Amino acid sequence: MVKKAVLIGINYPGTKIELKGCVNDVHRMHKCLVDRYGFAEEDIKVLIDTDDSYTQPTGKNIRNALSELIKRAKSGDVLFVHYSGHGTRVPLEEGEEDDTGFDECIVPCDMNPIPDDDFRELVDQVPEGCKITFVSDSCHSGGLIDGAKEHIGESTNKNRNQEPKVQFFELEIWNFFYSVLMRLLVFCGICSSHEEPDKIEITARYEVGKSRYLPMESFINILKEKTGKDKIEVGKIRPTLFDVFGEDASPKVKKFIKVMLTKLDQSGLVVHEIYRGGSSNGLVPDRGILLSGCQTDETSADVKKGGEAYGAFSNAIQMVLSEGGEKDKITNKELVLRAREMLKEQGFAQRPGLYCNDRFVDAPFIC
């Protein structure tokens, strides 16, 4: 048995959508895999955008890394993927169906998105006797493996046409009034500036950072900057992505273009085979396990603790694992439920989810 992993952290440095904690998430998970789960350094592929000595997390490089991870896998191997970065969602095309009503996507550093359908296709290629665990600390991560069974969550089979809920306002207001209250108590001599009531210590020590939500408007604006194209509309995102990234675009984007060209073929246009990907369409048993940082209509937090930035969900995972001994095993279900409790205690409204086949619900996290 070989344990292999791909870890992806994207901070988008120097951009208007810059995050602070994603690369830290990757470094912490890397240490966890080696120290706790016995992964070998050479079997962990790291993609980050803050150090040029690492493979950059572009859409092409992420797809290649995931494809290589699965292509080399054999029965009995343990596969693991961790993603920390922005998430977005693209409205479905007319006539298209999805449990959540959108294409949930991760956002690589070059804005070449990878949608839930692509992750489904990758999971369907996992060999028999092997499983892949995917942690996504990003916005809209619920349902990121298209069609995976929802065991813990509120993402599927609902009307999701509203904008996502941004959860930080309540926490910001609380921290503001807490700060004012503490200053008043110090001024009145009731407590010293170093005293903090235990009751609110957990919530107050977190400095609210950014959401890992990338609105469609922001995505389009950055895509304009990177492509030099001024006229990009919501309904024209997929053709633009194919125009810019070509064969490096998402297989779903290429399939969409193929359908467009097929329709135009009636006018005499020569159609070339563009999309060569395949899917089991549910014929292969589901071997993917998704632990999402939030629901499809929610945002995930980039927060600060002790001067360092981390993803709220990634940090919760590390805290939950540290509650037990290094040899203590925790199930996927236990981890997600405990992370939910912990985030709620800390003042975050995001609700992690678990999406997998029934047999993986009570299986140990990772291995």
Q: Which amino acid belongs to residue 70?
A: I
Q: Which of 140, 117, 145, 125 is nearest to 238 (CA)?
A: 117
Distance (Å, whole) CA 86 – CA 12: 9
| 86 belongs to the catalytic site | yes
Task: Choose the catalytic residue: 105, 139, 294, 356.
Answer: 139
Is the alpha carbon torsion for 308, 310, 316, 320 positive or negative?
A: negative
Edge to edge, what strands does the sheet with 87-91 contain?
87-91, 102-106, 114-115
Across the strands, what pairs with 7? Answer: 46, 82
Tell me phi and psi for residue 179, to 5 degrees.
-60, -45
Long-range CB contacts (within 8 A, 24+) of 43-47: 43/2, 43/3, 43/4, 43/5, 44/4, 44/5, 44/6, 44/7, 45/4, 45/5, 45/6, 45/7, 45/69, 46/7, 46/9, 47/6, 47/7, 47/8, 47/9
* Residue 254 · residue 239 · CB < 8 Å: no
Q: Is 356 labeled as catalytic in the residue annotation? A: no
Q: How far apart (Å, rounded) are the C-alpha atoms in residues 213 and 338?
A: 23
Q: Which of 30, 82, 86, 140 is catalytic?
A: 86
Instruction: Report how far apart, in Å, the C-alpha atoms of 173 and of each of 165, 167, 170 are.
Output: 16, 11, 5
Distance CA 144, CA 8 (A): 15
Instruction: Please choose, from the candidates 190, 200, 86, the residue with its C-alpha nearest in 3D space to the C-alpha of residue 141.
Output: 86
Helix (H) or strand (E) holding 177: helix 168-187
CA neighbor of 352 nearest in space, from 142, 86, 69: 142
φ/ψ bin of 4: left (φ > 0), alpha (ψ from -120 to 50), beta (otherwise)? beta
Active site residues: 86, 139
